[in-house]
Amino acid sequence: MAQKPGIPKGTRDFSPTEVAKRNYIFSTIKEVFETYGFQPIETPSFENYSTLMGKYGEEGDRLIFKILNSGDYLKKVDEAILVSKNSVKATSQISEKALRYDLTVPFARYVVQHQNDIVFPFKRYQMQPVWRADRPQKGRFREFYQCDADVVGSKSLWQEVEFVQLYDAVFSKLKLLGTTIKLNNRKILAGIAEIIGEKDKLIDFTVALDKLDKIGAEGVSKEMLLKGISEEAIKKVTPLFNFNGTNQEKLNQLEELLKNSEEGIQGVKDLRFVVNNVETLGLQSANLELDVTLARGLNYYTGAIFEVSAPKNVKMGSIGGGGRYDDLTGIFGLKNISGVGISFGLDRIYLVLEELNLFKEVDLPKPTILFLNLGESEASFCMKALVELRKHQIKSELYPDTAKMKKQMNYANKREIPFVVIVGSKEIELDKYTLKNMHTGDQKLCDLQELMNISI
């Protein structure tokens, strides 16, 4: 009985056209990365279990794909753990490898491991798949690509300015106009938490605040109360629920609100540097928007936080994100190295471009000329011509089987091959080729040199 074919949940096959479109995005991002001075690295698809675990929070640990040990892996597990059916404890005993969850942690590991060979500040980019054991939904897969660019070993805020420009450059180049680059700073969030006297609830506070545009001011207040944040504190942050105006106006408001928090004031200063310089330099198509509710990846970001949303008419989660982490490599033993980076979500960008019909005509690698196969000696004659054509980079192929002409013509038609060469006994005798233009239907007898002059 034949097995029904299928692929795991949240994974996809890509057709030639899809691959071509994806490559178009890849090469665009890559080109801009290199223009900005980044160099590529690659890391393994899977890392040591211990390298990844505990780096993304409890939720992250759950979403990491673990790889089962080889051999009789249950034999070594403590009897007590097996009996207790404690999955978490058992996992650490039956798995010592796990699939990459993002590109940042492996990069941190890379930097520490190769610190002696790296010239700091180190600017690297990396475009590889990552895996998450998430439940798939719109724009969310279990295998997807991230395109990251990070700088380690520099605390300069010019990097933040450059990353905003880089985002703008890529999306402009992709003709994806009207994206919004949201900018925040963890110091602002920490400052606010300090002002309202809920410093220890920073994470709960920001996670709730992050949902403002989704559940509204009322929903946010409710969630904050639920997390044990006092009513009085919530009252103090209400101005943030209606936070608008230009970036400069927002900065002024924040300055006033945070005047009693040293950290908060530093955050305002940092943001002002970035905002002012981006304003001076200008952006091609993106909008830079200060967003105090932005709180993604707070587990490790310490300074700037970025997130890019697609143009407003497209319903899609963020298509990019990033931020600064002052002690990126600390967990692997290299202290005082600051990192800042951004990421492009290739698969989501693809969906957005598709929805907005922004893929230019993709060049599918397909032959310009198909030689029909009308028999063994004819095929042999054609192969000699093919050798020459291919030496001249002319994409060409011979229909592999001797089949009816209708069938071979059909094949050329379906693959949209623009030219067909017909060689029968007549042509062999004349040492010529009948070249047929599949678009116009015209055909003419020509020699090898004329075949080579085909340009399409």
Contact residues toward RNA (CB under 7 A) are 1, 4, 6, 8-10, 57, 59-60, 63, 102, 132, 134-142, 144, 146, 207, 211, 214-215, 296-297, 299, 308, 315, 317-321, 343, 345, 347-348, 374, 404-407, 409-410, 412-414, 422, 424-427, 434, 436, 438-441, 443
- C-alpha span between 99 and 432 (Å, rounded): 57
**Shortest spacing between CB 226 and RNA, in angstroms:** 12
- C-alpha span between 370 and 435 (Å, rounded): 10
Q: Of 8 and 333, which has the nearer Cβ to RNA?
A: 8
**Shortest spacing between CB 388 and RNA, in angstroms:** 20
**Shortest spacing between CB 70 and RNA, in angstroms:** 24
Q: Of 224 and 268, which has the nearer Cβ to RNA?
A: 224
**Shortest spacing between CB 373 and RNA, in angstroms:** 12
> What are 327's two structure tokens?
């002690």
- C-alpha span between 185 and 228 (Å, rounded): 24
For residue 316, give the amino acid letter.
M
128 pairs with which residues across the strands? 146
**Shortest spacing between CB 409 and RNA, in angstroms:** 3
**Shortest spacing between CB 351 and RNA, in angstroms:** 9
Sheet of 369-371: strand order equals: 396-398, 369-371, 419-422, 433-437, 443-446
- C-alpha span between 136 and 10 (Å, rounded): 5
**Shortest spacing between CB 221 and RNA, in angstroms:** 14
- C-alpha span between 148 and 125 (Å, rounded): 5
- C-alpha span between 456 and 444 (Å, rounded): 17
Q: Of 365 and 441, which has the nearer Cβ to RNA?
A: 441
Q: Of 153 and 321, which has the nearer Cβ to RNA?
A: 321
Contacts of 266-272 with C-beta under 8 Å, sequence gap 24+, read 266/187, 267/185, 267/186, 267/187, 267/188, 267/189, 267/190, 267/191, 268/188, 270/157, 270/160, 270/185, 270/187, 270/303, 270/304, 271/183, 271/184, 271/185, 271/188, 271/304
- C-alpha span between 320 and 345 (Å, rounded): 5
- C-alpha span between 132 and 452 (Å, rounded): 50
Q: Of 24 and 273, which has the nearer Cβ to RNA?
A: 24
Q: Of 38 and 141, which has the nearer Cβ to RNA?
A: 141
**Shortest spacing between CB 219 and RNA, in angstroms:** 9
> What are 319's two structure tokens?
């298509």
Q: Of 170 and 412, which has the nearer Cβ to RNA?
A: 412
Q: Of 55 and 272, which has the nearer Cβ to RNA?
A: 55
